[in-house]
Structure 1
Amino acid sequence: MIILAATPIGNLGDASARLVEALGQATTVAAEDTRTTLRLLAALGIDNRPRLIALHDHNEKQRAAEIVGIARDEDVLVLSDAGMPTVSDPGYGLVAEAARAGVEVTAIPGPSAVLTALAVSGLPTDRFSFEGFVPRKPGERRRSLAALAADPRTLVFFDAPSRVAQTLVDMAGAFGGTRRAAVARELTKLHEEVRRGTLDELAAWAEDGVRGELAIVVAGSEGGAVPLADAVRQVGELVASGVRTKDAAREVAEATGHPSRELYQAALAAKG
């Protein structure tokens, strides 16, 4: 079978007894980074040296069928660098291939950066959506955020420290600067920090730079459209990224509920 195994996201003490046992008995491990797996084995004091197969974003399509073939005859342990495989990490294609081939898939549960960030955020946890990594390109990022502006669920994102300051500014523009949010940094590690506040406050805090691995948790919309001023600002940001004013107004209208014509005219007026 295929065994998806969650690994620590920072603190080695979070390695479960089941994970340690599985690593000690495994004959084949498919790993996002085989060097990381070797370091994990050493850190946990495990002498077993299984066959290691690299399974990452760039080769998963090519390796999935091979690994599923191996799993017909023996268990294959699947690891990402941190957390649960398939969750913003390699593994989805492998599981899909195993399902098509009738090969059993199970999991060894454990740490998850998504759930940990959500739990410590202080924001509603009854309904949430994990949105993965925020898009890198400014125009794509703003369009993606605009499409989520009216979503009532708590939203969880990953982001790089080099981009988080601008991301928070764009989130304030898309969701409104008073929307509650939290930035969780270095979860379970020595310098863990959770910063809570409005998006405007968090954007100001991040101006001087933020280090470490990050998750951003944003409260969902509490109903109604995004304030008109914020919606017009979204249109302006899309136009600045190269989108035609009419197309930008239509896109923001679909996300916020404001009439497209009203946004278009307001955007033209704002240009002066």
Structure 2
Amino acid sequence: MNTPSSESVPVKALDPGLYIVATPIGNLGDITMRAVDVLRGVSVVACEDKRVTGKLLKHIGVQKRLIAYHEHSIRQVEDEILDMLHRESVALVSDAGTPLISDPGWQLVKRAKDAGYMVTAIPGPSALIAALVQSGLNNRRFLFGGFMPRTDEGRANCLREVGDLYCTVILYETGPRLTKSLKIMAELWPNREIAVARELTKLYEECRSGTAEELLEHYTAHPPKGEIVLMAGPPITIVPEEHDVETMLRGLLKTEKPSQAATRVAKFTGRDRKELYKMALRLKAE
């Protein structure tokens, strides 16, 4: 993205308040025009890592005062930010994506609102949404569970809590711990469709789906790095209504053959594949 330098663009100072600004999750070209304008116009930027945010600001031609706001400095920095808000505009950013999503910040927002300060959000990239919409999983209802617990017992308890909900479950996991989570999923949810998204918006972006056992075999042989979005489709014990099945088939037929679409929906719903294949041929002919 070619962005003019800050010297060549008139900067409009923003009203005092807290601006929650989403930033790219990988590809810097995903930053929104509004986010650039806000980052130009605020007085201060509160961020997780000054080096990471500094690179982004340099990319868009902006120089700002940066203050570190992360889990190890929350209380002290929150007091400092709240003291600024009656006279200055402060942007809150994370290293990547939408602030507050599995990152600190909700306490700051609550304290700012309770104190009567203006709080607004500048929407943009989010890893969980980017992963969900390309997963091929049912996205009519979904639950975001944040980062998986670190222990095997914690992971198992987390999955049992949401196991009976008819929705797609979205979780964050780290590359080194992915196979541990997939192993537990294979035990608890052997027939559910699972998807793993990684390197989102980057050169080697990947969204791989299959059973937990299939994905466990793949990622044991090809250990991933970085942060992972781990998703599980709804339980197949509940058969969707007829119009839901047709909706699923129609969506898959945009990119897949009737036989492939029927196979995927059969795995997901437990419905007879031959019946679904006939339905797919009819929908394809319409």
When normalised by structure 2's length, the TM-score is 0.74
- The one-letter amino acid of 1:5's match is V
How do 1:144-223 and structure 2 match up within 5 A?
144-174=158-188, 176-208=189-221, 209-223=223-237
In structure 2, distance between residues paired with 1:173 and 1:158? 19
What's the offset of the Cα at 1:199?
A: 1.4
In structure 2, distance between residues paired with 1:59 and 1:151? 37
2:129 aligned residue? 115
Match of 1:86 among 91, 96, 100: 100
In structure 1, distance between residues paired with 2:51 and 2:226? 20
What's the offset of the Cα at 1:181?
A: 1.1
Match of 2:78 among 64, 69, 72: 64
- The one-letter amino acid of 1:104's match is M
2:35 aligned residue? 19
- SS of the residue corresponding to residue 207 of structure 1 reads helix
Q: Which runs of 5+ in 1 are unaligned?
A: 225-272
2:6 aligned residue? none
- The one-letter amino acid of 2:126's match is S
Counting matched residue pairs gives 221
Match of 2:65 among 31, 43, 51: 51
What's the offset of the Cα at 1:141?
A: 1.4
- SS of the residue corresponding to residue 9 of structure 1 reads coil
Does the aligned pair in 2 maintain the 1:158–1:214 contact within 8 Å?
yes
- SS of the residue corresponding to residue 195 of structure 1 reads strand
In structure 2, distance between residues paired with 1:222 and 1:112? 28
Q: After the TM superposition, which of the residue ranges 211-220 and 100-109 deviates more from structure 2? A: 211-220
Q: After the TM superposition, which of the residue ranges 179-188 and 63-72 deviates more from structure 2? A: 63-72
- SS of the residue corresponding to residue 182 of structure 1 reads strand
What's the offset of the Cα at 1:223?
A: 4.2
When normalised by structure 1's length, the TM-score is 0.78
- SS of the residue corresponding to residue 194 of structure 1 reads strand
1:227 aligned residue? none
2:55 matched to 1:42?
Answer: no
Render the CA deviation track for 1:15-72: whole Å, top value 9, x for unaligned.
Answer: 111111222222211111111111111222x1x3222111111222332232122111
Does the aligned pair in 2 maintain the 1:152–1:221 contact within 8 Å?
yes
In structure 1, distance between residues paired with 2:18 and 2:237? 43
- The one-letter amino acid of 2:59's match is A
2:23 matched to 1:7?
Answer: yes
Does the aligned pair in 2 maintain the 1:6–1:85 contact within 8 Å?
yes
Aligned residues with identical type, % of pairs: 42
2:258 aligned residue? none
Does the aligned pair in 1 maintain the 2:195–2:232 contact within 8 Å?
yes
1:138 aligned residue? 152
In structure 1, distance between residues paired with 2:200 and 2:193? 20
- The one-letter amino acid of 2:25's match is I
- The one-letter amino acid of 2:168's match is T
- The one-letter amino acid of 1:162's match is P
In structure 1, distance between residues paired with 2:176 and 2:88? 42
In structure 2, distance between residues paired with 1:123 and 1:89? 25
Instruction: Name the Cα RMSD after superposition.
Output: 1.3
Does the aligned pair in 1 maintain the 2:191–2:236 contact within 8 Å?
no
In structure 2, distance between residues paired with 1:172 and 1:62? 43
- The one-letter amino acid of 1:69's match is D
Does the aligned pair in 2 maintain the 1:152–1:223 contact within 8 Å?
no
In structure 2, distance between residues paired with 1:100 and 1:68? 11
